[in-house]
Structure 1
Amino acid sequence: METADLRIALFSGNYNYVRDGANQALNRLVGYLLRQGAAVRVYSPTVAEPAFEATGDLVGVRAMPIPTRGEYRLPLYLPARARRDLARFAPNVVHVSSPDPVAHQALTWARERDLPVLASVHTRFETYLRYYNMAWAEPVMEAILRRFYRRCDALVAPSESMAQVLREQRMNYDISLWSRGVDREVFHPARRSLEWRRSLGIGDDEVAIGFLGRLVMEKGLDVFSDTIDELRRGGVAHKVLVIGEGPAREWFEARLPGAVFAGFQNGEDLGRAVASMDVLFNPSVTETFGNVTLEAMACALPVVAAAATGSESLVDNHGSGRLIRPGAVHQFAEALRAYIANPDLRARHGAAGETRARDFGWDRINQAVADTYVRLIRQKRPNRR
């Protein structure tokens, strides 16, 4: 069997209605598979005005807005129309990308037909509870996720550190890597623009500490702002540059007086924004890979990040950035202080990060997923006979 023989039914909780790193990776994967001659059908909630155009054929499923997070939708069930479409499409492999009710139904549908199921892990859902004062429920959430993922034939994780967490949590025994790539045409040191910085009120000699991502509490906004407070108390001169939008923007702006909020950026504008930072600060512990970390590295920025899944597989501590114990505000501040005070250190660690980023090409990475589909189909064939 070759990649061109694949017929993949992909189930996503958010394929294109809100832009984030996970669904952009899924769209890139589908685009790659279609170019290789594979057939792909995507089942996901749809909205009247999605964040971007979907890659491939998209079939809507029934969904409802998530309470307190109305921009996201919870897939509830596969309507009869979608089930008929799925039967006509006749996939030879099923891919689920979030453990929602529709994914559970798709998993049952596939198992009844002895079709292989691959699950891709894009975020650490159990850690979200910490940001809603429900950390006590993490073991319960972990058990629910374990039941779902063990019913799948295999998992793919975006980083070795995340794969190791999944092994330790006993989520599955077949776990391989589906890493993330970076577009080197967009993310490159040459995109840096002093003119753009000046238009935002950032001086040429000011050190801009960057935040990049959706403005939601689970991205570590509290740790970020507490760390900036400590720098201010210590009289450390700096500027904060925030790239992104989200429901917590008003809260974040109130916590960071004097920060520059450049809003949502995309394409070449995003590459310019990232390259125009001086250091990226990423305190989040919810990522499984850390696309923003890789994008900053490709722009030759040193990265100060939480020592958590994703960043641990990308950042060389004391080589291309700093990995700090999650939530350790004083240590985060000290790491940032060192980069602010020492431009040679910033340049040296930034250059090392750019070299590392060259290893992440999208086609090679996405072919690894196609190879996993083929392997799972071959493993199922003896059972069918």
Structure 2
Amino acid sequence: MKVAIVAESFLPHFNGVTNSILKTLDHLALTGHEAVVITPAGSLASELAGHGVPRQYKGFAIHTVPSMPLASYPEVRVATTSVNRLRKILARERVDVVHLASPFILGWQGLRAAQELNLPTVALYQTEVPSYAERYKMPWLTQRLWDHVRAIHSAADLSLVPSTFSYRQLQDLGIDRLRISGRGVDTAQFTPRRRNEQFRQAVAPNGEVVIGYAGRLAAEKQVADLKALADLKNTRLVIVGSGPLEGELRALLPTAHFTGFLSGERLAEVMASMDVFVHPGASETFCQTIQEAMACGVPVVAVGRGGPLDLVDSSRTGWLYQPGNLNELRSRVSDLVYDDAKRLAFASAALSSVQDRSWFSIGEQLLDHYQHVRMARISR
């Protein structure tokens, strides 16, 4: 079959949504299907510098539509296209199913275009956008954003959610065409074997315990909460990622080591070189970096809300703490930092817990969902 992936973000901007899209395209290519991607265009400056949206991936065409930068996060582009334009692209490409990747603005337009062409749609709920409103000091928008989420997922033929928490969120909105679809983890890339003693010597020359975070440096990730860990004795905080708050966080955490954006083998090396992984963001629908840390044999301390509830088996593979309780965050991290035997036991359990989560099996499930909505549409 031929799948159109309508993506709110795509390369070169890399995040959890982009990663899932790439894994989907990889699987479609591997299994002999066709695909096309529709995504916002990059900035003119990026295009001129040779860092724009690629024209193809794995031989699949990438169509870009007009966009504008998000005011508070200019690296993120917001589509400004029309339903009519998207309908023409979908019709010309003769697609069989439309995959809406974390739909919100472009995804809403893509959904309406698909409906006009009587094409089946699968919407992947991957970003808890309404919770960002308060983080970005616009709390009055929260309910309107949830209403928009309801409209999108009520209209889609099927919505896939990455966690039980997300399932309940959409179910509480009155959405009933739901399935849980998690994420795979590449255990060949993320493995304890990539632990890099040279990196550890550079960041922790006196044998400090390395506490790490990896992800965007943006308000919704709550990286500033790591200030609660900054003065733990015999530790070194390592922060992987980039984003609009990087300068502010460097000032807030002057003793932390900031690596900037990392990907591929270098990201895996740094994550495997951590001793404890911490994720403080309370609005994660899944949190892929938790799985990646576990695959590297690193125990996790994460906020007890959203996706981490499914990923962290508290008191076995890591610890969960109450949202907003930074004293508990500090206590849970300290528990692993200062007890070597417990930390190693948790690390072993974390590694074992993710060994059967392959991207291939996730891809096969997704193909089944595509086929299901196609057949349901045909039978109407």
Question: Counterpart of 2:289?
Answer: 292
Return the match for 2:188 from 175, 185, 189. 185
Return the match for 1:38 from 33, 37, 45. 33
Contact 2:6 2:37 in 1 (8 A): yes
1:272-351 to structure 2, matched below 5 A, reads: 272-351=269-348
Return the match for 2:142 from 138, 141, 146. 138
Matched residue SS, 2:284: coil
Query: What's the offset of the Cα at 1:164?
Result: 2.3
Which range moved further: 149-158 or 49-58? 49-58
CA distance in 1, matches of 2:233, 2:201: 20
Mapped pair 1:72 → 2:71: no
Question: Counterpart of 1:18?
Answer: 13
Gap regions ≥5 residues in structure 1:
1-5
C-alpha change, 1:12 and 1:321, in structure 2 (3 Å) is same
Write the letter of the residue equivalent to 1:304: V
CA distance in 1, matches of 2:283, 2:314: 19
Mapped pair 1:380 → 2:377: yes
CA distance in 2, matches of 1:121, 1:204: 44
Contact 1:61 1:78 in 2 (8 A): no
CA distance in 2, matches of 1:182, 1:245: 22
Write the letter of the residue equivalent to 1:166: L
CA distance in 1, matches of 2:105, 2:165: 27
Matched residue SS, 1:289: coil
Return the match for 2:361 from 344, 349, 364. 364
Which range moved further: 204-213 or 96-105? 96-105
Contact 1:62 1:79 in 2 (8 A): no
CA distance in 1, matches of 2:206, 2:53: 34
Mapped pair 1:219 → 2:221: yes
> Deviation digits for residues 241-296 of structure 1, max 9, x if unmatched?
11111121111111112111122222111111001111011011122111110000
Contact 1:189 1:299 in 2 (8 A): yes
CA distance in 2, matches of 1:332, 1:365: 32
Query: What's the offset of the Cα at 1:138?
Result: 1.9
Mapped pair 1:116 → 2:127: no
Query: What's the offset of the Cα at 1:51?
Result: 7.5
Mapped pair 1:126 → 2:123: no
1:52-67 to structure 2, matched below 5 A, reads: 54-55=57-58, 56-67=60-71
1:143-222 to structure 2, matched below 5 A, reads: 143-170=147-174, 172-200=175-203, 202-203=204-205, 205-222=207-224
> Deviation digits for residues 321-357 of structure 1, max 9, x if unmatched?
0011111100000001111110111100111111111
> Deviation digits for residues 151-188 of structure 1, max 9, x if unmatched?
11110112233222221232x21111221111112111
C-alpha change, 1:188 and 1:323, in structure 2 (3 Å) is same
> Deviation digits for residues 73-120 of structure 1, max 9, x if unmatched?
111114866543321211121111233333222212222232211100
Write the letter of the residue equivalent to 2:176: Y
Write the letter of the residue equivalent to 1:207: V
Contact 2:128 2:283 in 1 (8 A): yes
Q: Percent identity?
A: 27
C-alpha change, 1:175 and 1:302, in structure 2 (3 Å) is same
Contact 2:150 2:170 in 1 (8 A): no
Contact 2:83 2:112 in 1 (8 A): no
1:212-291 to structure 2, matched below 5 A, reads: 212-225=214-227, 227-229=228-230, 232=231, 236-291=233-288
Contact 1:16 1:54 in 2 (8 A): no
Write the letter of the residue equivalent to 2:221: K
Contact 2:41 2:77 in 1 (8 A): no
Matched residue SS, 1:64: strand
**Normalised TM-score (structure 2):** 0.93
CA distance in 1, matches of 2:183, 2:76: 23
Contact 1:18 1:50 in 2 (8 A): no
**Normalised TM-score (structure 1):** 0.92
Return the match for 1:87 from 71, 85, 91. 91
Cα RMSD between the aligned structures? 1.8
CA distance in 1, matches of 2:300, 2:105: 37
Query: What's the offset of the Cα at 1:207?
Result: 0.6
Gap regions ≥5 residues in structure 2:
none
Write the letter of the residue equivalent to 1:255: L
Question: Counterpart of 1:104?
Answer: 108
Q: Tell me the matched-pair count.
A: 371
